[in-house]
């Protein structure tokens, strides 16, 4: 009972009402059995394919064809070594880190600056500028892939890491502005006024007050944009035209498409696992921020 009231904190009167109608709670618990059943089935449907992918990545191809379900007799680390060398996954991971961290850093900083101005100053054209940024959230990436390719060619950025970095940054910016604008509005303006009276310049107010107080919003935006860049395939396909530019999703996809001839499927399982393991670790460490960030990102707008 004590445990229960801790789990469901509510007004004291309600707790006592619960106690009076305790048969209702028992009935509720019985009724919740089918709910658990549904949840457990879905949880298995989510988790088992991933577990299956991991242990299959350690089987031999012969074991895979002999039995879909069987565990590996001996973990085949060789699958990972083949995937790593064939897909050049080390380079791909570094590329992905460069694109993700670089574009998120750039877009979160510039987006926060713009959002600060849009949320805190009154000036002509403020609303139109806000809507201009907001439009970016609704533009489908497919609309721009061809002109982006042509633009990058004209800017001589087609064979450079900076091409993809800048394109990702450009796409991250509107989302960052959009969400942070809503977020910064929740910072009490008294704090900024007080700082201004103390002689802080507007720049100092941004650095010392807006950025620290808006940190959780910035973290949320950064995580979501990071995931988008880390996982993107479309722009990578269009712009990473040589092997040294390939980010991880494209490298793994290339491993998959080139395997149709050799039939070395366990190696593809290994490549997909290489992509999933860092995400899984990151998700376990940052799950609260990621889930909260996704909620803020979708609902703040």
Partner 1 sequence: MVDRILGDGWKGSIVSPLFRILEEGGLPKGNEPMSRRTEDRILIVLFLAPAALLYTLFVVYPGLDAFFVSLFEWRGMDPQLGPFVGLHNFIHFFEDPNAQQAVWHNLYLLVVPTLLTLVLALLFAEMIRARIKGGAFFQTVFFFPNVLSMVVVGILWGFILAPTFGLVNGFLRLVNLGQLAQPWLGIPGLVMPSISAVLVWMAAGYYMVLLVSAMKNIPHELYELADLEGANGWQQFWGITLPLVWDVLRVVITLLILGAIQQFALIWVLTEGGPNGASEVMGTFVYKNAFRYQNIGYGNAAAVIMFLIVFALSIFVFRWMARETVEY
Which 189-208 residues touch partner 1, going by CB under 8 A? 201-203, 206
From 1, 279, 281, 285, residue interacting with partner 1 (rule: CB under 8 A): 279
Among 15, 93, 101, 151, binds partner 1 (CB under 8 A): 151
Contact present, 271 and 259 (Cβ < 8 Å): no
- 34 SS3 class: helix
283 binds partner 1 (CB under 8 A): yes
* d(C-alpha 237, C-alpha 294), whole Å: 26
Contact between residue 226 and residue 108 where contact means Cβ atoms under 8 Å apart: no
With CB under 8 A as the contact rule, the residue among 47, 51, 77, 194 that binds partner 1 is 47
Please report whether residue 183 would count as binding partner 1 according to CB under 8 A.
no
Does residue 171 belong to the site contacting partner 1 (CB under 8 A)?
yes
Give the one residue of 16, 30, 125, 198 binding partner 1; rule: CB under 8 A.
125
Distance separating alpha carbons of residues 79 and 71, to the nearest angstrom: 15
Which of 1, 41, 43, 281 binds partner 1 (CB under 8 A)? It is: 43
Distance CA 53, CA 276 (A): 10
DSSP 246: -
- In angstroms, the CA 38 to CA 120 distance is 47
Site string for partner 1, 70-99 (x = CB under 8 A): ------------------------------
Beta strand residue intervals within the chain, DSSP E: none
Q: Does 116 bind partner 1 (CB under 8 A)?
A: yes
Q: Which is nearer to partner 1, 1 or 279 (CB)?
A: 279
Q: Is 231 in the site for partner 1 (CB under 8 A)?
A: yes
Closest to partner 1 by CB, 37 or 77: 37
């Amino acid at each position: 009972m004590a445990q229960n009231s801790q789990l469901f904190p509510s007004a004291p009167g309600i707790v006592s009402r619960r106690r009076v109608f305790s048969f209702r709670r028992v009935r509720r618990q019985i009724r919740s059995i089918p709910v658990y059943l549904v949840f457990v089935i879905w949880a298995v449907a989510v988790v088992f394919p991933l577990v299956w992918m991991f242990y299959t990545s350690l089987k031999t191809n012969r074991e895979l064809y002999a039995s879909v379900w069987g565990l590996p007799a001996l973990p085949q680390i060789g699958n990972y070594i083949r995937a790593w060398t064939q897909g050049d996954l080390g380079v791909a991971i570094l590329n992905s880190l460069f694109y993700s961290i670089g574009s998120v850093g750039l877009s979160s900083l510039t987006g926060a600056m713009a959002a600060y101005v849009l949320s805190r100053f009154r000036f002509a054209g403020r609303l139109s500028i806000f809507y201009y940024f907001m439009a970016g959230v609704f533009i489908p990436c497919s609309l721009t892939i061809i002109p982006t390719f042509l633009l990058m060619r004209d800017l001589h950025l087609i064979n450079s890491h900076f091409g993809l970095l800048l394109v990702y940054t450009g796409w991250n910016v509107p989302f960052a502005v959009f969400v942070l604008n809503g977020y910064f509005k929740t910072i009490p303006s008294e704090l900024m006024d007080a700082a201004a009276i103390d002689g802080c310049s507007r720049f100092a107010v941004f650095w010392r007050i807006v950025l620290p107080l808006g940190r959780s919003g910035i973290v949320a935006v950064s995580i979501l944009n990071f995931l988008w860049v880390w996982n993107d395939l479309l722009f990578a396909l269009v712009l990473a035209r040589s092997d040294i530019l390939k980010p991880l999703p494209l490298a793994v996809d290339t491993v998959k498409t080139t395997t149709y001839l050799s039939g070395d499927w366990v190696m593809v399982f290994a490549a997909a696992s290489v992509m999933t393991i860092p995400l899984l670790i990151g998700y376990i460490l940052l799950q609260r921020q990621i889930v909260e960030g996704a909620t803020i990102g979708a609902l703040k707008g």
